[in-house]
Amino acid sequence: MSNVPHALELPGAHAGAAAHTPAPRRAAAARAAPAPATVDPGQPARALWPAGLLAAVAWAALGVLTLAWPNKAIGFSEWAFTQEFGVAALAAGGVLLLVALLGERSGPVGRTLRPAGPWLVAAPLLLAVWEVLTAKTGALPPPFFAPPQSLIEVFTEDGARLGLSIAHSGRLLGHGFLVGALVGFAVGVWIGWSRIAGYWVHPLLRFLGPVPASALLPLAFFFAPSSYAAAVFLVALATFFPVAVLTWSGVASVHKSYYDVARTLGASEWFLVLRVAIPAALPQVFVGLFMGLGASFSVLVTAEMMGVQAGLGWYLQWAQGWAAYANMYAALLVMAVFCSGLITLLFAVRDRALSWQKGTVKW
């Protein structure tokens, strides 16, 4: 019975033998065994980038369509920079094709472009529709509608004036937003902390705050010493209300137990405000800042249309007066990029200021 066939061995025989094996020998065997294959979730699953290949084809098709299909001559319209636009689309397709073929070896460029894969496919398709409806068929007649290459002409020939307008708008928005955010934050903390301020100031804030800042435009230009000061006041007023309300809400909603624990440890009133109430209210403060940034940007454009001699709002009004609709579209595009950049910057500041929350809330 000593020569038992392997097929008749009991299932636990190997387990029992392993149990009687000395521990050092088992550890050595475990180290010698091959490690199971693991997949790094940060690495792409394929060497090629399928979305990149599709985006490369879409951009190349846009370039071919722009260069091969002649523009339709309608009246006075001769769209310049058509060839440059087509060549740029072909170049974009070539770059995306190279990145897609390199796959994981594309480095930082590929890692940056991969999340935007669907948008890189959709963008040339939208541009192709825009090109066909304007320059190629004239379904959207000029001068009210301009093709994509007209934006290149605006940025090339009128870039200096547009850049000066961006600088003026940035300065005005910076002054107004900073003043409104600081005053709104201070008032919000005061209302949320002080019962007296909550009794007297809070009703005024709720009564006057919802009034649109642009509705006070005539009064602002009448009482302000200059048109620039009136524009700064309107931008600050648009920022003030959401920041003040949400800061007050954040301070008022801090749990009472936090204050009780801090007082037990000997905290003063200023410590409670600066180290307990304000940090706990910061998430809502940033919500108010985001809302104030959007409101202040809309008021900025309105204020610049009324009395300021430079800025994106002034540029829009100037382009409309001259029926330069391509310049209007270029200014609108610049506004979108400008506002999006400011929001991205504010997100970065929010993430840095609220980094202590990453371990306590779902991020």
- Secondary element (H or E) of residue 273: none
**Cα torsion for 251, 253, 259, 260, to the nearest 10°?**
160
The pLDDT of residue 16 is above 60: no
Q: Give me the numbers of helices (H) and strands (E) for the chain, helices first please.
A: 16, 0
CB 28 within 8 A of CB 94: no
The pLDDT of residue 48 is above 50: yes
Least confident of 128-137, 231-240, 263-272, 275-284: 263-272
The pLDDT of residue 43 is above 90: no
Would the pTM of this model clear 0.85, i.e. be above it? no
pLDDT band (50, 70, 90) for residue 292: very high
DSSP secondary structure letter of residue 74: B
Q: What is the pLDDT of residue 174?
A: 93
Q: What is the pLDDT of residue 287?
A: 94
Query: What is the C-alpha to C-alpha distance for residues 18 and 4, in angstroms, rounded to an integer?
Result: 19
| 160-175 pLDDT per residue, tens | 999 999 999 999 999 9
Q: What is the pLDDT of residue 36?
A: 47
CB 313 within 8 A of CB 169: yes
Q: What is the pLDDT of residue 46?
A: 53
Query: What is the C-alpha to C-alpha distance for residues 209 and 194, in angstroms, rounded to an integer?
Result: 19
